Amino acid sequence: MSDSYVDYILDLLSPYGNITAKRMFGGHGIYKDSVIIALIINEELYFKADGTNKEQYEKLGSSPFIYEAKGKPVVISYWQVPLEILEDTSKLPVWMEQSFEISLKILQEKNRKKKL
């Protein structure tokens, strides 16, 4: 994977928070304030999504990240960010913030379950 694409994404997102990247799974995890919000795999950016915003990705022709495990496809809740969103400085921070809120909610639920 090209580090220049990772740097490009970090440059795009850094005006909207403390954004960092860490290598993982042959790609990179993108973090805002130490919370994972996105993946970069094969020079494609995928934001975390759920039932609250999945439809907006589908409307723009996006698809979820799919990998193969034990010979079967596995779909995870990260959706490809459409190019038109990457290029729109008014929409990109909104989509990124949605991803952050979803990831934060999941993290809080996991922490709550650990306390039980």
- CATH classification at residue 78: 3.30.1460.30
- How many domains does the structure of the chain reveal? 1
- What is the per-residue pLDDT for 1? 54
Check: pTM over 0.85? Answer yes or no: yes
Strand partners, 69: 72
Nearest partner of 41 among 71, 73, 10, 6, judged by Cα: 6
What is the biggest distance separating any 2 CA atoms in the chain, rounded to whole angstroms? 44
Residues of the domain holding 61: 3-115
- CA-to-CA distance for 16 and 1, rounded, in angstroms? 24
Per residue of the chain (116 residues), what is the pLDDT tens digit?
568 999 999 999 999 999 999 999 789 999 999 999 999 999 999 999 999 999 999 999 999 999 999 999 999 999 999 999 999 999 999 999 999 999 999 988 888 777 76
Q: What are the tokens at 44?
A: 């494609």
- What is the per-residue pLDDT for 11? 95
- What is the per-residue pLDDT for 66? 95
Nearest partner of 98 among 55, 49, 36, 30, judged by Cα: 49
58 Cα distance to chain centroid: 15
